[in-house]
Amino acid sequence: MSTICGPAERTVNILLFSPEERIAGSARIRLSGTRARHLRDVFGATPGKQLRAGEIGGDIGEATLESLDSDSVTLHFRAQHAPPAKRPLTVVLALPRPKMLRRMLRTVAETGVRDLHLVNARRVEKSYWQSGLLDTATLEQYLLSGLEQSIDSVLPALQVHRGFRPFAEDHLPALARGRRALLAHPAATRPCPADGDTETLLMIGPEGGFIDYEASLALRAGLLPVSLGSRILRAETALTALLGRFLVAPR
């Protein structure tokens, strides 16, 4: 089944649809808007065409295009298998600037992170929180573009915390309990571990890092400071490089 080439920067290896796009709960789905136009105009799909497809939150399978008109596309979906397993990873991420947020959320979904917490921090600019990008639909679009890349149909569970201290004091200790919990910290001397089958929480600061007070609250919550070397990396690079250490199970 061919890759569905997406807009610039976006590879779509699976056509994802929501349960509401099923026609009366049947195996037939109707898409409208961008995806319908894209299938018709860019991908050049015609009736009979088969595509890899997946229901958001559900199974992955094959969709056969039945009909298309100027507004919509109707397909028949046949579920074939469960989505790929998530990595046993919980990521706590200081809210990045809007442009990085899009790519970082895509990377989180693409690499199979199971749980994501976006948190405030002192060095997160206040304007990032006022950004129109933070509504749920937009955040989900970013995550979906990651799923479309790595052929997954299940969104990471996302929680947003606008106060650092309430998060660090009221939520983080429970999140850290019973799992390996790591704080990425440039000053740490312990190298970040690298193995993929241990239930892990990974906390990553904003550009410029967490301030000492924030780091101390994280340590008090049970996190262990770990390092990825002494270079100052962009938050985006640090996130992906850290995730790389947890993508593969040891032999």
Would you tell me which residues interact with its own copies (CB under 8 A)?
Answer: 3, 8-9, 11, 13, 84, 99, 107, 110-112, 149-152, 190-192, 194, 196, 207-208, 227-234, 237, 240-245, 247-251
Shortest distance (Å) from residue 153 CB to its own copies: 13
All residues at 6 or more sequence positions from 205 whose CB lies less than 8 Å from its CB, including other chains: 94, 121, 123, 184, 185, 214, 235
State how beta strands 113-119 and 50-55 pair: unpaired
Task: Give 111 or 120: the residue with its C-beta nearer to its own copies.
Answer: 111
Task: Give 53 or 73: the residue with its C-beta nearer to its own copies.
Answer: 53
Cα dihedral 158, 95, 98, 150 in deg (nearest 10): -40
- C-beta neighbour count of 155 within 10 angstroms: 17
Shortest distance (Å) from residue 123 CB to its own copies: 11
Tokens describing residue 15: 């056509």
Shortest distance (Å) from residue 66 CB to its own copies: 27
Residue that is written with structure tokens 């015609």 in the block: 46
Task: Give 174 or 194: the residue with its C-beta nearer to its own copies.
Answer: 194
Shortest distance (Å) from residue 161 CB to its own copies: 25
Report the run of H or E that residue 129 belongs to, with start and end: helix 126-130
Task: Give 80 or 237: the residue with its C-beta nearer to its own copies.
Answer: 237
Shortest distance (Å) from residue 4 CB to its own copies: 13
Task: Name the DSSP letter for residue 227.
Answer: B
Tokens describing residue 13: 């290896």
Q: Choose among 208, 197, 207, 206: nearest CA to 245.
A: 197
Shortest distance (Å) from residue 215 CB to its own copies: 19
Shortest distance (Å) from residue 107 CB to its own copies: 6
148 close to 10: Cβ distance less than 8 angstroms: yes
Task: Give 21 or 110: the residue with its C-beta nearer to its own copies.
Answer: 110
Task: Give 84 or 222: the residue with its C-beta nearer to its own copies.
Answer: 84
Residue that is written with structure tokens 């304007």 in the block: 127
Task: Give 48 or 132: the residue with its C-beta nearer to its own copies.
Answer: 132
**Residue 85 burial (CB < 10 Å; 0-12/13-18/19+)?**
exposed
